[in-house]
Amino acid sequence: MSPFKKAPVEEPQAPQAEISHHSLVQLFQERNNLKRKLEEAEAERAVLRADVADLGKRAEEATRQLAGLEKMLMDPEKGQNAILYYRMRAVWDLCRNQIRNIAEDLSGRQDQVERKRYTEAFEQQRASQVKDTQRLIEILDRDRQALTEEVARMEAQIPELRRFWHKKKRERLMEEIEEAMTKFGPIDKRRMELVKKLDGIKKAPLPTYLGIGVPARRAINVAMIAMAQYLYLHFSEHEIATMARSAGTKPVMEVNFGGANECLKIGAQIWEVVQKLRADTLRPDKLKHRAEFLRQKLTYVSDQDSVPELSSLDYMLPFAPNAATLDDTFTRTLPVNVLRQNYWDLETLLLKTPGKADEPASGNDIGFGSGHVD
């Protein structure tokens, strides 16, 4: 090799370095993804373990209760108490289901009415907006047409102004034409905006329906409270309502209705009172009168509350003897608050206000008589 010849210079290995760097980044990303998936799997396993432990405790409790129930049933006295306990629970469930049925029936029908009204109101508003926007577009189209005709008229005058003494008049007319032409841009821009707005109005989805309004919820709750009071008064015979509440709030091992004969006697009374409930032909009128009274009596903390104040239910009027009307004699007033004492799970069943409604619907579409449940 000639001493004057330069040695070849090695090319830098930048592409390989970039590839190695990219591979390292990818490895770290895959490592982080695997770590995240592992953490998610461990969290899910912890939840499953907690569920298994909870189910195990429930199974142990159920086994303990079953053993206690078997022990009760083997005892003649306690066995009758256990049987009566479940019959009282059946009374509690019967009353609870009747109140729940009222809520479901009235809520379902009212929901259909208000949902339809809500949809119709939205469509009417949409139609009004479409009409107004189309009217604005038509106005712009007329303005543009008038402007086009005016420009054409002025342009038609130019050939007639070719003489040198028409110069100033021709220049003035040209300026007017140029000024008129500048108006087309804003008109076309505004028209495009309105066309886009019109398309948005036509494609706009129906906003989320927030459910029945506060007045309707109040009307349904009044119907439920009236039913709860009616059922309490009916089952107050032989103090069945009080015993049913005890059975509805205590485990079977903690109740004691008396000896075997007393339990059999109470069981017969339950059957008798339940039969009277099914045969009560005055029920619709009783509920109607009670609901009308409650609507006048109940108070609420605010206009957006659908559940009445507890204090407005502290006293209950019984029914007049052999009639559907209420006995408004003060001495006959009963200091029983079915909501405070949560008879028939009333507190859970009442319709709460989900949030402040912009336009609460009217409760006039609800007729209490239709809430009668056999």
User: Predicted confidence band at 59 (pLDDT cuts at 50, 70, 90)?
Assistant: confident
Q: Which of residues 165 and 204 earns the better pLDDT score?
A: 204
The length of the chain, given as a count of residues: 374
Q: Percent of the chain at pLDDT above 70?
A: 84
Please report, rounded to a whole number, the percentage of residues in the chain having pLDDT higher than 90. 43
Q: How confident is the model at residue 260 (pLDDT cuts 50, 70, 90)?
A: confident
Range of 4-8, 334-338, 366-370 with top mean pLDDT: 334-338
Lowest mean pLDDT among 119-123, 155-159, 195-199, 280-284: 155-159
Instruction: Collect all residues with Cβ–Cβ distance below 8 Å to 319 and sequence separation of at least 6.
Output: 233, 286, 325, 326, 327
Side-chain-side CA neighbours of residue 61 (13 Å): 7
pLDDT value of residue 20: 65
- Please report, for the chain, how many H helices and E strands are present, in that order: 9, 0
Alpha-helix runs per DSSP H in the chain: 14-74, 76-157, 167-181, 184-203, 214-235, 240-249, 260-278, 283-297, 346-349
How confident is the model over 310-326, as pLDDT tens digits?
A: 999 999 988 887 778 88
Instruction: Judge whether residue 1 has pLDDT over 50.
Output: no
Structure confidence at residue 57 (pLDDT): 77
In this model, does residue 357 exceed pLDDT 50?
A: no
Residue 374, pLDDT score: 36
d(Cα 198, Cα 136) in Å, to the nearest integer? 10
Query: Residue 181: which pLDDT band, with cuts at 50, 70 and 90?
Result: confident
pTM above the 0.85 mark?
A: no
DSSP state of 307: S
The packing angle between helices 76-157 and 260-278, to 10°, is: 30
| pLDDT of residue 24 exceeding 90 | no
Please check the confidence at residue 121 and state whether its pLDDT lies above 50. Answer: yes
Is residue 58 predicted with pLDDT exceeding 70? yes
Per-residue pLDDT band at 192 (split at 50, 70, 90)? very high
pLDDT band at 175 (very low <50, low <70, confident <90, very high): confident
Computed over every residue of the chain, the mean pLDDT equals 83
Burial class (CB in 10 A: 0-12, 13-18, 19+), 174: middle
- Give, for 124, the enclosing helix (H) or strand (E): helix 76-157
- Helix 76-157 crosses helix 240-249 at what angle (to 10 degrees)? 80
Q: How many CB atoms lie within 10 A of CB 71?
A: 13
Residue owning tokens 């008879």: 343
One-letter amino acid identity for 201?
A: I
Bigger pLDDT: 293 vs 158: 293
Residue type, 83: I
Flag whether pLDDT at 2 surpasses 70: no
